[in-house]
Chain A
Amino acid sequence: MNWGWIPANLPALIEATIDHIVLTAIAVGVGFAISLALAILIHRDRRAFGPVSAFTGLLYTIPSLALFAFLVPITGLSLLTAEIGLISYTLLILVRNIVAGFDSVPAEVSETAAGMGYTWAERLWRVELPIAMPLIVAGLRIATITTIGLVMVTALIGEGGLGQVMLRGFNFRNWVAVYTGAALTLALAIAADVALVAIGRLATPWATRRAS
């Protein structure tokens, strides 16, 4: 084991870690925006739930490598290909949890807000969304950790952040690189989870119970 590899490749490792974070952030960010829109649609009209659920469920069932394989001939070995795949996998988790969050709002609360003259949008923004926050944050945590793992697979299509470090290490039978990549990914997952728990607490300062 050549531990000297780590300090010698520190800049490359930092760059790979940043790549990993960026790939994850784009996927979860865009996935959240799409999911929020879909969840609001379902919240307004329940009939949308069946089709949305079936579609996101199908995307979730398709193996990641197969999904990337479908896309490569069309969108090439690109960031776009990686992100389409990564975003697809966040949708099922996020839509379900945001909808479950809206469902957790007591009907009396929504009706009271309506009775006080809140418009539909105001009610959503100022009453329902805050109450749904713990479940939304729970969904974001699961989606983020899952995405951090899936980003590694995108190493096969030329992206991958720390997955790239692992794959290259593997090809050269450089086990220090393989284990360093894995350890950094695990550390990244834990750090992201801790950060999201903290954000969840800041977003729900009134919560007495843990928002997990």
Chain B
Amino acid sequence: MELLAEVVAWFDDPATWAGPNGIPTRMLEHILLSGACVVAAIAVAVPVGLVIGHTGRGALIAVSIANVGRGLPSYALLLMLFPFFGIGFPTAFAALLLLTIPPVLTNTYVGVRDVDRDVVEAGRGMGMSERGLLRGVEMPLAMPVIVAGIRIAAVQVVATATLAALVGGGGLGRYIVDGFALRDDGQIVGGAILVAGLAILTEWVLGLVERRVVPPGVGSGASAGPPAFQYTAEPRPAGTT
């Protein structure tokens, strides 16, 4: 219970909440870094994924990128990119972006690819243009899967942005890394609580969004509940295992 007291004392200390190392500042840094990565990843990966899913061209490249992304851990990426991008935000942003793109890309591609081909053909038969098909038929139907990819990516980024502290970046990871250095258990666990809370909150909020974007007329099976028991052989959309 000594530990609990230390954690409470850390949260209770006014110094914990003030200045450039205060919780509000660190929390904002964490959210801005994560948000910037997710927005950039969506801007890059969603259009590419849509085109690959629609045309079927470049699928192999998409799968390869996703697999390499899985094999290279973010921790390794951060340390490797440091010589090129330097201290703090630039390195963290570059490493996290590389981590964020694969799940969004894979899910967008798989989501569009797995849209019922009969529905697409029906649209084509009604005279819809290819662009119109993509925008009016495939994208809405794939939306739950795309948002699931964004959710996975966002939770991963929030979790991994913690490691940005290793390369001199800000964010909530500072408390854990500094706490280890100072052997300050209250600060370590306090930081861990904040990071875990933020990750769980992100998961929960985007889970709600995911349920909202199921287009009308599509069965609730598309995204209701955890995607358990779904296993798609390669390429595996993120969040299905």
Query: Cβ of B203: which chain A residues have Cβ within 8 Å of it?
Result: 61
Query: Cβ of B221: which chain A residues have Cβ within 8 Å of it?
Result: none
Establish whether residues A182 and B191, one from each chain, have CB atoms under 8 Å apart when the complex forms: no
Establish whether residues A149 and B231, one from each chain, have CB atoms under 8 Å apart when the complex forms: no
Q: How many residues of B sit at the interface, in one of the four size bands?
A: 35 or more
Query: Cβ of B71: which chain A residues have Cβ within 8 Å of it?
Result: 145, 149, 186, 189-190
Q: Determine how close the nearest CB of chain B comes to the CB of A53; give it in whole angstroms.
A: 6
Which secondary structure characterizes the binding site on chain B? helix
Establish whether residues B162 and A163, one from each chain, have CB atoms under 8 Å apart when the complex forms: no
Q: Does A199 contact B (CB under 8 A)?
A: no
Q: Determine how close the nearest CB of chain A comes to the CB of B71; give it in whole angstroms.
A: 5
> Which single residue of chain A is at the shortest CB-CB distance from B68?
A186
Establish whether residues A179 and B80, one from each chain, have CB atoms under 8 Å apart when the complex forms: yes
Q: Does B219 contact A (CB under 8 A)?
A: no
Establish whether residues B231 and A100, one from each chain, have CB atoms under 8 Å apart when the complex forms: yes
Query: Cβ of B59: which chain A residues have Cβ within 8 Å of it?
Result: none
Query: Cβ of A10: which chain B residues have Cβ within 8 Å of it?
Result: none
User: Given A53-B228, A70-B189, A93-B241, does the pair A166, B176 have CB atoms closer than 8 Å?
Assistant: no
Q: Which of B71, B80, B236 has the most CB of A within 10 A?
A: B71
Establish whether residues B188 and A69, one from each chain, have CB atoms under 8 Å apart when the complex forms: yes
Establish whether residues A73 and B189, one from each chain, have CB atoms under 8 Å apart when the complex forms: yes
User: Given A97-B231, A99-B229, A212-B233, does the pair A62, B196 have CB atoms closer than 8 Å?
Assistant: yes
Establish whether residues A182 and B200, one from each chain, have CB atoms under 8 Å apart when the complex forms: no
Mark interface residues in B225-241 (1 if CB within 8 Å of A CB, else 0).
01011110110100001
CA distance A179 to B83 in the complex (A): 11
Q: Determine how close the nearest CB of chain A comes to the CB of B48; give it in whole angstroms.
A: 24
Establish whether residues B158 and A186, one from each chain, have CB atoms under 8 Å apart when the complex forms: no
Establish whether residues B163 and A153, one from each chain, have CB atoms under 8 Å apart when the complex forms: yes
> Which single residue of chain A is at the shortest CB-CB distance from B73?
A149
Which of B162, B177, B200, B229 touches A96 (beta carbons < 8 Å)? B229
Excluding A65-B176, A66-B191, A148-B73, 7 further A-B contacts by CB distance (< 8 Å) are: A65-B159, A69-B179, A97-B241, A149-B70, A149-B73, A169-B79, A182-B72
Residues of A within 8 A of B (CB): 49, 53, 57-58, 61-67, 69-70, 72-74, 93, 96-97, 99-100, 103, 135, 138-139, 142, 145-146, 148-150, 152-153, 155-157, 163, 166-167, 169-170, 175, 178-179, 181-182, 185-186, 189-190, 212
A-B contact pairs, 9 of them (CB 8 A): A61-B155, A66-B199, A69-B180, A73-B3, A73-B189, A100-B228, A100-B231, A135-B231, A149-B75
List 10 A-B pairs, minimum CB-CB distance, nearest first: A149-B73, A63-B159, A69-B192, A66-B192, A73-B185, A66-B195, A182-B76, A152-B75, A189-B71, A69-B188
